[in-house]
């Protein structure tokens, strides 16, 4: 299947979900300035439906990411909408912080996950008001490794990129005309300043893609991929419920 044929398939899939499953009028999307959200933005623009796109920066968001997000809005012809989650984060942390341990591991990750969840809470609220479908941006490499925030960017009504390796996302980006600067930038969840996906995971997307293609990878790469996959099983399942009812 060519890139064009797969884009056509995704457009039909998105519209069938919107009309048949969700019975909604439009789409809602968060645009980060990264390649995944840029590809989703270009896809949604091609549906011909109304798209309510937002960028939701935090205090730690880089000026380059915000600039790249604005480029996506311009390229897709979307109205620029920016909602800062910084005030929400600060207000919530004032209430939560007294209940946190004095010292705990991975402090930056905890704060970053809270930001991701605040973004998705905001997007779902906006979507409910707009009668819209919330579109997620996670790809296959992120899904397999669990490199997403549970009930954060891992929460959406649909994930059009979920069957695509990172290399395939880049191929679709080129086909759709995503700005080359965005295609070539180092992938980052933007959880803290200077953060990159590959540094945090300890394995490159190139190695993850090779693994997902069924190819041999180095022992160290396989160890990291298996580590992330196994520790994130709970992220790829619905919350467990008891097998037996009380009868």
Q: What's the CATH number where 46 sits?
A: 3.40.50.620
Q: In what order do the strands lie in the sheet with 132-134?
A: 50-54, 26-30, 132-134
* Residue-wise pLDDT tens digits, 30-87: 999 999 999 999 999 999 999 999 999 999 998 999 999 999 999 999 999 999 999 9
Interatomic CA distance for residues 55 and 49, integer angstroms: 19
Interatomic CA distance for residues 35 and 33, integer angstroms: 7
Does a structural domain hold residue 247?
A: no
> What confidence tier does 108 reach under pLDDT thresholds 50, 70, 90?
confident
Helix axis angle, 63-76 to 35-47, nearest 10°: 20
Q: Report DSSP state, residue 26.
A: E
Does a structural domain hold residue 226?
A: no
Instruction: Name which of 190, 206, 205 is nearest 153 in CA terms.
Output: 190
Does a structural domain hold residue 108?
A: yes
Higher pLDDT, 7 or 189: 7
> What confidence tier does 144 reach under pLDDT thresholds 50, 70, 90?
very high
Task: Kindly report the number of other CB atoms within 10 A of residue 30's CB atom.
Answer: 25
Interatomic CA distance for residues 50 and 241, integer angstroms: 37
Interatomic CA distance for residues 49 and 152, integer angstroms: 25
Interatomic CA distance for residues 106 and 103, integer angstroms: 10
Domain of 82? 3-199
* 133 beta partners: 27
Does a structural domain hold residue 25?
A: yes
pLDDT at 165 > cutoff 70: yes
Q: Report DSSP state, residue 19.
A: I
pTM of the complete model: 0.93
Identify the pLDDT of residue 50: 97
Does a structural domain hold residue 233?
A: no
Does a structural domain hold residue 210?
A: no
Q: Report DSSP state, residue 20.
A: I
Q: How large is the average pLDDT for residues 124-136?
A: 98
Our count of domains for the chain comes to 1
């Amino acid at each position: 299947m060519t890139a064009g044929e797969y884009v056509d398939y995704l457009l039909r899939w998105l519209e069938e979900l919107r009309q048949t499953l969700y019975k909604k009028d439009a789409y809602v999307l968060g645009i980060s300035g990264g390649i995944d959200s840029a590809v989703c933005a270009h896809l949604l623009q091609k549906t011909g439906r109304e798209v309510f796109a937002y960028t939701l920066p935090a205090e730690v968001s880089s000026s380059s990411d915000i600039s790249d997000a604005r480029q996506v809005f311009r390229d897709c012809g979307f109205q620029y909408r920016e909602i800062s989650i910084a005030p929400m984060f600060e207000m919530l942390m004032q209430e939560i912080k007294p209940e946190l341990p004095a010292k705990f591991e991975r402090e930056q990750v905890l704060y970053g996950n809270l930001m991701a969840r605040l973004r998705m809470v905001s997007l779902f609220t906006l979507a409910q008001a707009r009668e819209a479908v919330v579109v997620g941006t996670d790809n296959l490499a992120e899904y397999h490794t669990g490199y997403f925030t549970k009930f954060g960017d891992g929460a959406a009504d649909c994930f059009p990129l979920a069957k695509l390796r990172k290399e395939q996302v880049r191929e679709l980006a080129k086909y759709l005309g995503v700005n080359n600067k965005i295609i070539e930038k180092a992938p980052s969840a933007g959880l803290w300043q200077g953060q990159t996906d590959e540094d945090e995971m300890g394995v490159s997307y190139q190695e993850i893609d090779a693994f997902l293609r069924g190819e041999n990878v180095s022992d160290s790469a396989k160890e990291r991929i298996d580590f992330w996959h196994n520790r994130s099983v709970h992220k790829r399942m619905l919350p467990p419920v008891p097998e037996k009812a009380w009868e």
